């Protein structure tokens, strides 16, 4: 074994060994427990970023530890290959998205191989291939026939200059990103998937997901948003006809405090009113300006205008004005709300602004009226007042009584309302999976029959930013109706890329299956035992996947309902940011690698200068790695310099998986240093003759085995950073041993196995070089030896009055009484008791004694 650690050759050799043996190829094996470990597949954007390296290293650690624990492990990898960035790159470089995507995949695949991940490449898939997306189409036609996919209008961002639909991301401060034109809302026909049909089940099943973080389950619960309330009607007469304005409320107990109703600008009443009043028409138009993002809408200044229409209060019979309000969402509930200014913050602000009455109908802790400013208590539950026959009722009694009275009049009933909306999947974009529908003038929307699938996406087009090129391509859209054979037009919208990623985890079980979406192998591998990915996917991707799993179940493809048994959500990777303001007043972001930092005697940053020209720069804290702040760290540069094992070790060691990770080049050096020390120790053992048991063996074994015990505990918590620390502690202990004693070999073989999932290449080499075995992948996971952990004496912490004052050693067998006596006679306690009466003595077995005085 050579003295110098050379990661390049060590890594090449280990990877060649795994390739030759097909070490990571997984086969179904009913005799062993299976472990399907999956990291979220990447979008092939060009090259791996640090977030990928982190995600896949975490997945690889889990994969490799489970292998060593005897599981039949499958860890696949694929490409989420459709999407907007390919179209943007296509426009910028005049290259078809397909070519750009394929080249990116090839490069990134080589990078993943270089990192030594235990991936089964035989299962590789890409969502942009017809072999994959034909099953998107197949499933869509099934859902369409069942009514679970349907057409209705949806609202999109419209760029009036480019005449194109914009993604939310392409809207910057309410303007189109390319044209700068103010964005408008536009309603267009779209296909929707009826996820709301599964709302109750998706919500209820969260409780059973014991392997998911509570935080993610809570976010999903709130997103689905079940609320029980009352749907009720305000009757009105219009053009001689009796009509009803329906609203939904969770606060029917406040119904008697209603002083107005408000409808969304897209509501039929708004359209009716706008026809008769130019100012209203202008206001409705104004509401159509701007983007569709909820975050923007929620922060709009609350504005409204009264229509001339009045409605009748369903219980009191009072006439109430109907307003158009820009804060009423057409997409939630009925697109109309009842305004109860005294007990709803938005209604309060609205009524104050427009001088509407604000009668208090719920008693709250601060009194029976609602003076300015608004207080959260006003919206609390309480007893009804000023509400006629409902006075004195509490929330539940009032809701029950009011719902019953409404029902008797045929003007309302209790109803469950969901915040969750059906999933609009139509995208007016080229680089996606074509929606398999043919529009026939006589037969309507006809799903493409199975034998005509897949509807192939032409791969040679280059979009130009003015709408979908498919819609300008008669060779694509001119077709015949599958039903009647007459001329018809093919749908040119493609699917939301979330459709592609909502079932890919299942396809990994049988990516080569040409005759079906899934086969028997999926029944063996699914569900995914461990899923790993960014917290930013906590709601949409994970909820859509849970929905699709149920859709596939109901198609008879799989029996299970939940796709992911355990979920680990990793944190983001951040880096330092530095800038300087140029004389021209421009802010220039300087890459952290180009900055030289000077520190004071305590290591605090004093100043920072740009290395090449000495210009002073300002440290602006840490932030997500981004082009705009010029602080991205390229993992490839790191791998080239230190090797894959150092990159993997650092990323595991720097932070627990769920935390954000703040990048530091200096700390990477420390990780490299550790691996060099590890190598050097291995080389020293390798060159030494085996010695007899030494005097320090007992102490070294105690240390190694107690650290191992803790490491195994931490591994169970997925706290991998302290597992890496444990490896360092083991090496520290072993380096104190004088030679190659039995404890040295035992300890080193434990260390190499603990580290093998994190830094597989160097461990592969050391394991073989020291003759511990042929392949560390085949080794079993180490467990602590109870005999090594035996101790005769225990050190107790001594506290007096809750303050730590020192420690004392006591025999292991000492009981509470013996310890009480021991502590009261001890020098350390005597000093602080100082003759005061001892009230009691608290003993925490094996840890601490507290004398209360």
Least spacing, CB of residue 796 vs RNA, in Å = 8
Q: 243 to 282, contacts with RNA by CB under 7 A?
A: none
Closest CB to RNA among residues 165, 522? 165
**Using rule CB under 7 A, residue 721 touches RNA:** yes
* Residues 561-580 contacting RNA, CB under 7 A: 572
- 238 lies in the site for RNA, by CB under 7 A: no
Among residues 18, 234, 378, 423, which is the contact residue for RNA, using CB under 7 A? 423
295 versus 408: smaller Cβ distance to RNA = 295
User: E strands within 484-527?
Assistant: 487-490, 494-495
* Euclidean distance between CA atoms 696 and 736, whole angstroms: 8
Retrieve residue 284's tokens: 């409705």
Contact 577, 589 (CB under 8 A): yes
Applying CB under 7 A, does 462 fall inside the site for RNA? no
> Could you give the CA distance from residue 503 to residue 765 in angstroms, rounded to a whole number?
38
Site for RNA in 197-226 (CB under 7 A): 214-215, 218-219, 222-223
Q: Which residue lies nearer to RNA by CB, 273 or 506?
A: 506
Q: Please report the DSSP string for 97-154 in residue order.
A: HHHHHHHHHHHHHHHHHHTT----GGG-EETTSHHHHHHHHHHHHHHHHHTSEEEEEE
Determine the Cα–Cα distance for residues 384 and 240; give it in Å rounded to an integer: 36
Spatial contact of 336 and 328, defined as CB atoms under 8 Å apart = yes
Binding mask 292-331 for RNA (x = CB under 7 A): xxxx--xx--------------------------------
C-beta closer to RNA: residue 186 or 580: 186
**DSSP secondary structure string, 430-474?**
SSSPBP-EEEETTTEEEEPPGGG---PPPSS----SSS-GGGG-H
Site for RNA (CB under 7 A): how many residues?
A: 99
Applying the rule CB under 7 A, the residues between 620 and 639 that interact with RNA are 623-624
**Binding range to RNA, per CB under 7 A, among 80-88, 400-408, 456-464, 765-773:** 80-88
* φ and ψ of 847, to 5 deg: -135, -55
Which residue's structure tokens are 């192998």?
521
Tokens for 228, please give them. Answer: 């029980």
Of 124, 377, 400, 662, the one binding RNA by CB under 7 A: 662
Name the DSSP letter for residue 182: B
> Binders of RNA among 729-768, rule CB under 7 A?
729, 732, 735
Question: What strand order describes the sheet that includes 319-325?
Answer: 304-312, 319-325, 260-263, 336-339
Task: Return the SS3 of 715.
Answer: helix
End-to-end CA separation in angstroms for the chain: 63
Residue of 279, 586, 604, 627 that binds RNA (CB under 7 A): 604
Rg value, the chain, Cα: 34
Q: Quick check: 349 binds RNA (CB under 7 A)?
A: no
Which of 250, 316, 659, 830: binder of RNA (CB under 7 A)?
659
| DSSP labels, 380-431 | S---B-S-GGGTT--HHHHHHHHHHHHHHTTSEEEEEEES---EE-EE--SS
Query: CB atoms < 10 A from the CB of 802, how many?
Result: 9
Enumerate residues 6+ apart whose C-beta is below 8 A from 211. 564, 565, 566, 567
Of 282 and 842, the one with the shorter C-beta distance to RNA is 842
Between 195 and 269, whose beta carbon lies closer to RNA? 195
Residues of this chain, 494-533, that bind RNA according to CB under 7 A:
496-498, 501
Cβ closer to RNA: 25 or 673? 673
Q: Is residue 718 involved in binding RNA (CB under 7 A)?
A: no
- Tell me which stretch binds RNA (CB under 7 A): 20-28, 83-91, 637-645, 742-750: 83-91
Compute the C-alpha angle 516/522/526, nearest 5°: 145
Give every CB contact of residue 457 below 8 A, 6+ residues apart in sequence.
128, 130, 133, 430, 431, 432, 433, 434, 470, 494
By beta-carbon proximity to RNA, the closer residue of 385 and 540 is 540
Q: Angle 644-653/760-769 helices, nearest 10 degrees?
A: 110
Q: Which phi and psi angles does 816 have, rounded to 5°? A: -55, -45
The minimum distance between CB 229 and RNA, in angstroms, equals: 16
**Contacts with RNA in 353-412 (CB under 7 A)?**
none
Question: In the range 135-164, which residues lie near RNA by CB under 7 A?
Answer: 154, 156-157
**Nearest-10 Cα torsion for 138, 141, 142, 143:** 120
Judged by CB, which is closer to RNA: 65, or 494? 494
Going 116 to 122 to 127 to 128, the CA torsion angle's sign is positive
Examine residue 73 and tell whether it contacts RNA (CB under 7 A): no
Element at 842 (helix H, strand E): strand 840-844
The nearer residue to RNA, 466 or 624, going by C-beta atoms, is 624
Q: Does 420 bind RNA (CB under 7 A)?
A: yes
714 binds RNA (CB under 7 A): yes
Specify the residue, 402 or 420, whose C-beta has the smaller distance to RNA.
Answer: 420
Query: Please, what is the minimum distance in Å from the beta carbon of residue 382 to RNA?
Result: 17
Considering the complex, what minimum distance in angstroms separates the CB of residue 484 from RNA? 29
- Closest separation in Å from C-beta 651 to RNA: 10
Q: How far is CA 408 from CA 403, 404, 411, 412, in A?
A: 9, 6, 8, 8
- The total number of residues shown for the chain amounts to 853
Work out how close the CB of 314 gets to RNA at its nearest, in angstroms, rounded to a whole number.
28
Sign of CA dihedral 425, 428, 430, 431: negative
Minimum separation from the CB atom of position 572 to RNA (A): 6
Q: Please report whether residue 546 would count as binding RNA according to CB under 7 A.
A: no
Whichever of 65 and 127 has its CB closer to RNA, that residue is 127
The correct pick among 464, 669, 745, 785 for binding RNA (CB under 7 A) is 669
Judged by CB under 7 A, the stretch of 241-249, 506-514, 520-528, 709-717 that binds RNA is 709-717
Contact characters 793-832, RNA, x per CB under 7 A? --x-x-x-xx-x--x-------------------------
Whichever of 518 and 661 has its CB closer to RNA, that residue is 661
480 binds RNA (CB under 7 A): no
Residue 23 CB, nearest approach to RNA (Å): 29
688 binds RNA (CB under 7 A): no
Which is nearest to 47 in space by CA: 89, 95, 10?
89
Q: Of 639-658, which residues contact RNA (CB under 7 A)?
A: 653-656
Nearer to RNA, 402 or 849 (CB): 849
| Interacting residue with RNA among 243, 725, 768, 828 (CB under 7 A) | 725
Task: State yes or no: residue 850 binds RNA (CB under 7 A).
Answer: yes
537 lines the binding site for RNA (CB under 7 A): yes
Bridge partners, 617 (sequence order): 608
């Amino acid at each position: 074994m050579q003295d110098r650690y050379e990661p390049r050759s060590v890594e090449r050799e280990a990877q060649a060994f795994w390739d030759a043996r097909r070490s990571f190829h997984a086969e179904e094996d009913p005799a062993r427990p299976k472990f399907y470990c999956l990291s979220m597949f990447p979008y092939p954007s060009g090259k791996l970023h640090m977030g990928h390296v982190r995600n896949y290293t975490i997945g690889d650690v889990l994969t490799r530890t489970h292998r060593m624990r005897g599981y039949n492990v499958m860890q696949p990898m694929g490409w989420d290959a459709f999407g907007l960035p390919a179209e943007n790159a296509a426009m910028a470089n005049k290259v078809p998205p397909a070519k750009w995507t394929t080249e990116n995949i090839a490069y990134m695949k080589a990078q993943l191989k270089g990192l030594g991940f235990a991936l089964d490449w035989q299962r590789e898939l890409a969502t942009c291939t017809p072999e994959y997306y034909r099953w998107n189409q197949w499933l869509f036609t099934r859902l369409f026939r069942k009514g679970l996919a349907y057409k209705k209008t949806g609202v999109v961002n419209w760029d009036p200059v480019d005449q194109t639909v914009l993604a939310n991301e392409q809207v910057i401060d309410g303007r189109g990103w390319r044209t700068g034109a103010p964005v408008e809302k536009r309603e267009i026909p779209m296909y929707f998937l009826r996820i709301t049909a599964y709302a109750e089940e998706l919500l209820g099943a969260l409780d059973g997901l014991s392997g998911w973080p509570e935080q993610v389950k809570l976010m999903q619960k709130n997103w689905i948003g079940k609320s029980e309330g009352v749907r009720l009607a305000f009757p009105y007469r219009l053009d001689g006809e009796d009509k009803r304005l329906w609203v939904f409320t969770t606060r029917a107990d406040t119904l008697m405090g209603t002083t107005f109703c408000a409808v969304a600008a897209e509501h039929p009443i708004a359209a009716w009113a706008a026809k008769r009043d130019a100012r209203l028409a202008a206001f409705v138009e104004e509401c159509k300006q701007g983007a569709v993002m909820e975050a923007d809408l929620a922060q709009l200044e609350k504005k409204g205008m009264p229509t001339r229409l009045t409605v009748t209060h369903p219980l009191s019979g009072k006439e109430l004005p109907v307003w158009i309000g820009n804060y009423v969402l057409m997409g939630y509930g009925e697109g109309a709300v009842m305004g109860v200014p005294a007990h709803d913050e938005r209604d309060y602000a609205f009524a104050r602004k427009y001088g509407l009455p604000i009668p208090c109908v719920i008693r709250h802790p601060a009194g029976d009226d609602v003076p300015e400013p608004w207080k959260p208590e006003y919206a609390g539950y309480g007893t009804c007042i000023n509400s006629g026959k409902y006075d004195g009722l509490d929330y539940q009694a009032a809701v029950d009584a009011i719902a019953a009275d409404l029902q008797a009049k045929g003007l309302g009933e209790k109803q469950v309302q969901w915040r969750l909306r059906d999933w609009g999947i139509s995208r007016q974009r080229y680089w996606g999976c074509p929606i398999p529908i043919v529009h026939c003038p006589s037969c309507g929307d006809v799903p493409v029959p199975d034998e005509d699938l897949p509807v192939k996406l032409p791969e040679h087009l280059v979009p130009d930013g003015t709408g979908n090129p498919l819609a300008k391509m008669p060779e694509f859209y001119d077709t015949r109706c599958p039903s009647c054979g007459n001329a018809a037009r093919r749908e040119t919208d493609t699917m939301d890329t979330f459709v592609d990623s909502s079932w890919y985890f299942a396809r990994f079980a049988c990516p080569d299956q040409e005759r079906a979406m899934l086969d028997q192998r999926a029944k063996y591998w699914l569900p995914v035992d461990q899923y790993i990915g960014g917290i930013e996917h906590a709601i949409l991707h994970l909820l859509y996947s849970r929905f699709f799993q149920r859709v596939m179940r109901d198609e008879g493809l799989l029996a299970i309902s939940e796709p992911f048994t355990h979920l680990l959500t990793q944190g983001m990777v951040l880096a330092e940011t530095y800038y300087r303001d140029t004389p021209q007043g421009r802010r220039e972001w300087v890459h952290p690698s180009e900055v030289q930092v000077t520190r004071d005697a305590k290591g605090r940053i004093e100043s920072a200068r740009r290395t090449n020209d000495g210009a002073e720069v300002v440290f602006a804290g840490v932030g997500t790695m981004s082009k705009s702040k010029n602080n991205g760290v390229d993992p490839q540069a790191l791998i080239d310099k230190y090797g894959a094992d150092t990159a993997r070790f650092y990323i595991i060691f720097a932070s627990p998986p769920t935390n954000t990770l703040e990048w530091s080049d200096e700390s990477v050096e420390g990780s490299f240093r550790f691996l060099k020390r590890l190598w050097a120790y291995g080389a020293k053992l390798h060159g030494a003759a085996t010695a007899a048991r030494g005097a320090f063996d007992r102490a070294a074994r105690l240390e190694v085995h107690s650290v191992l015990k803790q490491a195994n505990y931490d591994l169970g918590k997925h706290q991998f950073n302290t597992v890496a620390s444990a490896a360092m502690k083991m090496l520290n202990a072993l380096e104190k041993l004088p030679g190659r004693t039995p404890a040295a070999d035992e300890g080193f073989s434990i260390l190499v196995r603990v580290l093998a999932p994190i830094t597989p290449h160097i461990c592969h080499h050391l394991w073989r070089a020291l003759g511990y075995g042929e392949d560390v992948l085949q080794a079993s996971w180490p467990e602590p030896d109870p005999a090594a952990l035996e101790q005769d004496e225990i050190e107790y912490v001594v506290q007096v009055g809750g303050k730590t004052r020192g420690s004392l050693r006591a025999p292991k067998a000492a009981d509470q009484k013996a310890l009480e006596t021991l502590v009261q006679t001890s020098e350390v306690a005597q000093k602080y008791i100082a003759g005061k009466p001892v009230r009691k003595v608290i003993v925490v077995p094996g840890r601490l004694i507290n004398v209360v005085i």
